[in-house]
Structure 1
């Protein structure tokens, strides 16, 4: 197996496991009394312990540097609370109040939010391709939320709120750890962030009644923790060693694809034509941001700034 094939399989596999965890959560929310906060707390604390243990075994100096330098601890806490915990809770709440396909697709508004934020922070207009992405994403969101009709909403206000906040949280998750990821191993950074955010949520495990789960339900919880968190993340990170980040960005579309297929075929989730069109338009923005447009134009002999 060559490097390119290995990278593609790792990226697609990691994204697919992520998408599967969204569908698994949707099933648990609709058939059991499981709490969103309880599920996120158990997911983060368990995955955080496992990933941090792996980091300690392979790069203990990275973990020591992240936990013994005051500046690093500050950045790590901000990422753990505003990025990791925020994105996990908002995503699962969006799944609970809507469904896995909708929550996963709305999360893909993240690149647009980052574009707008950087435009304000850097005080300069976005590139032409960024402006096109924003327009396409807004139209796609309109179709997904309204079904193409101005006088109706296909999502409840609470589902829409958590879906949009999920996209904001995903943007924070991307932006906040940048300074740490430039200096330290990504597995150590994210493992510690999961561990810290999981520890912060431990009090909720003593105040929220434990859910009544069957053995099959517990297997789904284990899958969400191990397959949908630990394995999916490590596979996706490993893929970057073999293929370019732009290709991994495109392959991340397997996440909403798998979430939709599982929700529609196994859970009976219904998707309208307008919802499908809106979802595809939002996902298109990911492709536009991942494609190295300027390199393509340069190869064609064109000099436009995209």
Structure 2
């Protein structure tokens, strides 16, 4: 479950890229549809499991934190991730988003006014070097990825930082399903109001409709459920390691089906960025980190 969930996340990014390039689907339309229907599915499941899904609104502080998490974390990362795919490609967008642990290291080091631990510093160096190789493919005179794709990818990583740090108290108090479900649904309603997807002329054929259904049902709702369910059997740190399957999946499927260009430099860069996850796993085992983040598991877009 911890492996198949990230596999579905990575697959949905490639499917979304195909929708943007060949089905005339806009980022705003797919984001609104994805978040709304995923939120409904997750909340229905939470209600079936006898969770009091309304209790989060009984406390004003929790409700305010949920709104902050929804706007700056959930909705921000969903939009920026799809924009990174639309302006670049799914493989690069997913890998750039994996820079979020490095951003968290730098942010928490600055907040605590102390230098990162040795392994954290190594993580930063490896991630920056790997990202440079990915976006340049070893050439210093040009970028292999459009600047807009790089910027949106970095914004997706920044959104993932908020996505990781903001909901910790909520997850510990109310559980993952209600928090993620409400955040998805509220974010979906916000994007519905802002982008008015019903007014956009989207004409899907049967394959396109199947791809949209895959992104919503399997690439989002099912992926979350599998990953969260896996945390009942294995540690969150182990699940995070298995989560490295997500960028690998996006990269491999992008190379095979979407014709994403790659050479030995970009492959090395991809491996370096993903390796940061394993370096952080070693750091986690050796000593307490600056911030353990979400002890109940990493949430992924």
Q: TM-score, normalised by structure 2?
A: 0.91
Residues in 1 aligned to 2:91 and 2:271: alpha-carbon distance in whole angstroms = 11
1:263 corresponds in structure 2 to 254
Q: Do 2:38 and 2:217's aligned partners in 1 also have CA atoms closer than 8 Å?
A: yes
Matched, 1:289 2:280: yes
Deviation per residue, 1:221-271 (Å, 9 max, x gap): 001001011010111111111111221111111111111222221222221
Tell me the CA shift for residue 181 of structure 1.
1.2
1:49 equivalent among 37, 40, 44:
40
Measure the CA separation in 2 of the matches of 1:177 and 1:248. Answer: 18
Alignment partner, residue 179 of structure 2: 189
* Aligned mate of 1:93, from 83, 91, 106: 83
| Residue 24 (1) aligns with residue 15 (2) | yes
RMSD: 1.3
Decide which of 24, 31, 54 is 1:33's aligned counterpart: 24
2:109 corresponding residue in structure 1: 119
Please list every run of 5 or more consecutive structure 2 residues that lacks an aligned counterpart in the other structure: 288-301
User: 1:28·1:34 contact (CA, 8 Å) conserved in 2?
Assistant: yes
Higher mean C-alpha deviation, range 150-159 or range 27-36 = 150-159
- Bigger-Rg structure (1/2): 1
Tell whether the 8 Å contact from 2:11 to 2:253 is kept in structure 1 after alignment.
Answer: yes
Q: How many residues are aligned here?
A: 285
Which of residues 179, 183, 198 is equivalent to 2:188?
198
How far apart are the structure 1 equivalents of 2:246 and 2:94? 7
Residue 140 of structure 1 aligns with which residue? 130
2:61 to 43, 52, 71: 71
SS where residue 238 of structure 1 aligns? helix
Distance change in 2, residues 1:52/1:208 (3 Å): same
Name the stretch that deviates more: 278-287 or 254-263. 254-263
Counterpart position of 1:107: 97
